[in-house]
Structure 1
Amino acid sequence: MRKLFHFLLTTIPRPVLIILSYPYRAFARLWYAGNKYTCPIEGKSYRKFLPYGALNIRENALCPGSLSLERHRLLWLYLKEKTNFFTAPKLKMLHVAPEQCFLDIFKKQKNLDYTTGDLVSPIADVKMDLHNPPFDDNTFDVVFCNHVLEHVDDADKCMRELYRIIKPGGWGIFQVPLDTTREETLEDPSITSEEDRLKHYWQKDHVRLFGMDYPKRLEAAGFDVKTEDYTKEIGPELTEKYCLMKGELLFFCSK
């Protein structure tokens, strides 16, 4: 079953997976019910989470109900405790490549003027290419763009575009797969096959693997960047309970 689940996740096109996931969630919430692990986003507990990963399969990574991964649960906790995301009177927000675990919640959030955008996602409001997003300068108070910049042709141009469309005083969070053992981002034009991309970039549709120079590249686009290792504040007990990835970094980017 574990191998079958991994095969389906890595072979079915993402837009199809998104559509199929909705009926699956209702079944999974019942099948995996328990009290060992908790998803802070939906506030429900389970006997186990599902494995996930393309190159290295991570146990207890995907919440069967909300479909959140470790990075989503970490972001949720950070937003609740460290930002005004839920308390500011009104925020105009763009969510690039919107994650299902957040979509319905953010749509109902009364303090958000919420827009989603993506090139292929069937759940996005606006079909858009991040190299040329169809928005005026200084439009948004908040932008989320998570696990996108490893897919695009020109990451630095996309970072500059993100900076352009955020208002002065606004902020964004742009998570990426990050190799913390690598000082510089790996971008090699000779790495083109799916097999080689999986080996070097951790996923067959990635075109780079960011290293610890990632915040410097965000700063070069104009952002003030604060690097946060929030699992240190959360502590080991809650890190395990929420199935977080110890040491995962968040980059809070302000303009």
Structure 2
Amino acid sequence: MKTFFKAILNLFPRPILIRLSFIVRPILAVFLKGTNYTDPIDHKSFKTFLPYGYGKQRNNVLSPSTLSLERHRLLWLYLKNETDFFKSNYKVLHFAPEQAFYHRFKTLGNLDYTTIDLHSPLADIKADICNLPFADNSFDVILCNHVLEHIPNDIKAMQELYRVMKIGGWGIFQIPQDLKREYTYEDLSITDRKERAKIFGQYDHVRIYGLDYFNKLRSIGFKVVECDYTSTLTPDEIDKYRLAPGELIPVVYK
């Protein structure tokens, strides 16, 4: 199964994968129904989750029902338990909207919700993160998760995120991060898909972020909280929800 899913991920572009998933997801959810693991987003339980990864596959991480990964379930729990995201009236900008969240956020009556991406079929607006078509101080909340590692000029992207966030606003900018690495490594001269996958973990990534990521955000002007939300959960909860222990959530404020 691991080899099959890896081949599918690397064969089809992400917009096509998104469309295909609407057909496959209900079948997988029925086939894998069980009691061992629970997706906190929809509260459905399964005997196992699916493997995932463009390069090295991670076992038991992809929810059959919402197609959420560890980072999505962690973010959902954080938003649900530690913020007023689901209650307060917010103008929200969501980059590269994830399927696990898209319809749920879209139907929340308290949110003025806008999605944006260059290629995603779920995006309301097609635009470059380095040149956003919004006025200064436009959004209360910005979600930009696993996007910046794709962007050659991530500093410019961060500056744009800061510009369009309202004063007093907040956001979450998750990235794949090597917590053992002090400094970010990037090499924009590497363009071969296989070489990028080997070095950066995915064919369309251009860097591996280290612990200096948070200071990069601070240098733009953001106040940053490095939130280890998994430290508030029990080992049983971490395993049941299939989370990555110690993953840090970058919560930013302007």
TM > 0.5 fold call: yes
Partner of 1:17: 17
The SS at the match of 2:97 is coil
**1: CA distance, partners of 2:114 / 2:98:** 13
- Deviation, structure 1 residue 189: 3.1
**2: CA distance, partners of 1:19 / 1:54:** 18
Contact 2:152 2:188 in 1 (8 A): no
Point out where structure 2 has 5 or more consecutive residues left out of the alignment: none
- Deviation, structure 1 residue 139: 0.4
Q: TM-score, normalised by structure 1?
A: 0.98
Instruction: Tell me if 1:67 matches 2:88.
Output: no
Between stretches 192-201 and 209-218, larger displacement belongs to 192-201
Partner of 2:227: 228
Contact 2:229 2:249 in 1 (8 A): yes
Point out where structure 1 has 5 or more consecutive residues left out of the alignment: none
Partner of 2:182: 183
State how 1:1-255 maps to structure 2 within 5 Å.
1-88=1-88, 90-255=89-254
**1: CA distance, partners of 2:60 / 2:171:** 28
- Deviation, structure 1 residue 84: 1.3
- Deviation, structure 1 residue 78: 0.5
Post-superposition Cα deviations, 1:105-161, rounded to whole Å, max 9, x if no partner, equal 001111100000000001110001000011110000000000000001200010010
- 2:75 counterpart letter in structure 1: L
**2: CA distance, partners of 1:78 / 1:136:** 29
The SS at the match of 1:126 is coil
Q: TM-score, normalised by structure 2?
A: 0.98
**1: CA distance, partners of 2:42 / 2:55:** 28
Q: What is the aligned length?
A: 254
- 1:44 counterpart letter in structure 2: K
- 2:218 counterpart letter in structure 1: E
- Deviation, structure 1 residue 10: 2.1
Structure 1 runs, 4 residues or longer, greater than 3 Å off: none
**2: CA distance, partners of 1:93 / 1:135:** 12
**1: CA distance, partners of 2:2 / 2:147:** 27
The SS at the match of 2:149 is coil
- Deviation, structure 1 residue 190: 3.2
- Deviation, structure 1 residue 188: 1.7
Contact 2:225 2:251 in 1 (8 A): yes
Cα RMSD, aligned residues only: 0.9
The SS at the match of 1:150 is helix
Percent of aligned pairs with the same residue?
52
The SS at the match of 2:186 is coil
- Deviation, structure 1 residue 56: 2.0
